[in-house]
Amino acid sequence: MLRIAVGLAVAVLVAGALPDAAAAQGTFAGTWHGVAAVNGMSCSFDRVMTPAGTYSEIERCGSLATSQSGIYKVFPNQTIAFAVTDWIPKQRYVMTSGYSGHYEPNAKPSGGTFRYTFANPNTLVFRDVNLGGTLTYRRVR
């Protein structure tokens, strides 16, 4: 019985020492801006994250733009995951021959899982867990 009580007390102390993932989401709240070269083109990423765990982002590369929105979850191991619930464009026009073509659906963006580091309270670095790329965001507000 004493062993169970001690084990329970240790578990409570360890759990209390872990960062609270819900509290960590508040540190992400704000408007963030990042810039990266994608296939030789300069692209900007404007992301808005709320304390409630939702986000929206517009990606611009030259004259092209896409957007996505969804939810995010912060984990205690410096990891954040994004799940896309809406995106634009949902379809694209494909030329078949001459001047004719048809519309095809665009796949839902994958969202992603990232390791994150705050270089300071207004600089956030994401490293893609699956693809390995990095993107640095600066807090705009």
For residue 23, the model assigns a pLDDT of 45
The CATH number given to whatever domain includes residue 60 is: 2.40.128.640
Whether 90 maps to a domain, the answer reads yes
Whether 119 maps to a domain, the answer reads yes
Whether 34 maps to a domain, the answer reads yes
Q: Is the separation of the CB atoms in 92 and 106 below 8 Å? A: yes
For residue 99, the model assigns a pLDDT of 85
Whether 7 maps to a domain, the answer reads no
Whether 71 maps to a domain, the answer reads yes
Asked whether the predicted pLDDT for residue 141 surpasses 70, the reply is yes
Q: What is the pTM of this model?
A: 0.77
Residue-by-residue DSSP string for 39-107: TTEEEEEEEEE-TTSEEEEEEEETTEEEEEEEEEEEETTTEEEEEEEEEE--EEEEEEETTEEEEEEPP
Least confident segment among 1-15, 31-45, 63-77: 1-15
Whether 12 maps to a domain, the answer reads no
Q: What is the CA radius of gyration of the chain?
A: 20
More confident residue, 80 or 2: 80
Whether 74 maps to a domain, the answer reads yes
Number of domains present in the structure of the chain: 1
* Structural domain boundaries enclosing 94: 23-139
Query: Which whole number is the average pLDDT over 62-68?
Result: 94
Q: Report pLDDT digits (tens) over 73-125.
A: 999 999 999 999 999 999 999 999 888 999 999 999 999 999 999 999 999 99
For residue 97, the model assigns a pLDDT of 84
Q: Report pLDDT digits (tens) over 14-32.
A: 334 344 444 454 599 999 9
